[in-house]
Amino acid sequence: AQKITQTQPGMFVQEKEAVTLDCTYDTSDPSYGLFWYKQPSSGEMIFLIYQGSYDQQNATEGRYSLNFQKARKSANLVISASQLGDSAMYFCAMREGYTGGFKTIFGAGTRLFVKA
Amino acid sequence: DTAVSQTPKYLVTQMGNDKSIKCEQNLGHDTMYWYKQDSKKFLKIMFSYNNKELIINETVPNRFSPKSPDKAHLNLHINSLELGDSAVYFCASSAGEGSGELFFGEGSRLTVL
């Protein structure tokens, strides 16, 4: 079963506008972590933002914020004031416990295109 | 200094060959991983090591054999390469098994002909 779902294969946004990338997750573990990573066309994976399941406040890092709706099991990434350099693949990920330890699993990704 | 470094960056080889990818991290992290990213960009965990001990083996064919000589190194050896092994292989590390974000290497693009 899909544990991390990113329903938007591709998104377009105008430069300087805000954009929301959707992510829903499924877990029965009460303790988990949610992450967003960016993968530009050059291929490297860049960590953007983290939200713990017990964190009361939504995480923010510069122009990135995570809209955490625990009851809905959603962890959407909001990018404010989009820049051309934001064009990339964006992956939502979840770290959860399992028998034997923890693992981080990824969604299928959303490709973001920022238009000038 | 690159935090997580992988070599080689590119590998092109014939079916049936054996190849290795090396990974080193200088972050002092306890946990290291191998992920496979396929042509559709889907990232799947393959292995995880914590302090040289294998803790995750995600039903990967036994043609894939990871080795961790120490906690700063995690290598991946692949025997009898198949066309479906073509992918980008990412090494990553984290401070601990259940803590912190993943720090990724640049990836190793393997092409099997």
Q: What is the mean pLDDT of residues A44-54?
A: 96
What pLDDT sits at residue B2? 74
Do B55 and A100 lie within an 8 Å CB cutoff?
Answer: yes
pLDDT of residue B99: 74
Checking if the pLDDT of B66 tops 60, the result is: yes
pLDDT number for residue A1: 57
Contact B41 A104 (CB under 8 A): no
% residues pLDDT > 90 (chain B): 83
Q: Give residue A9's identity as a one-letter amino acid code.
A: P
Is A3 in CB contact (< 8 Å) with chain B?
A: no
Gap from A106 CA to chain B (nearest CA, Å): 6
What is the structure's pLDDT at A2?
62
A43, A47, A108 member nearest B88 (Cβ): A43
CB atoms under 10 Å from CB of A116, counted, come to 6
Q: What local confidence, expressed as pLDDT, does residue B112 receive?
A: 98
Whether the pLDDT of residue A88 is over 80: the answer is yes
What does DSSP say about strands B64-70 and B73-78: parallel, antiparallel, or unpaired? antiparallel
Distance between CA A22 and CA B21 in Å, rounded? 34
- Taking alpha carbons only, the member of A38, A20, A41, A40 closest to residue A49 is A38
Q: Are B96 and B49 in contact (CB under 8 A)?
A: no
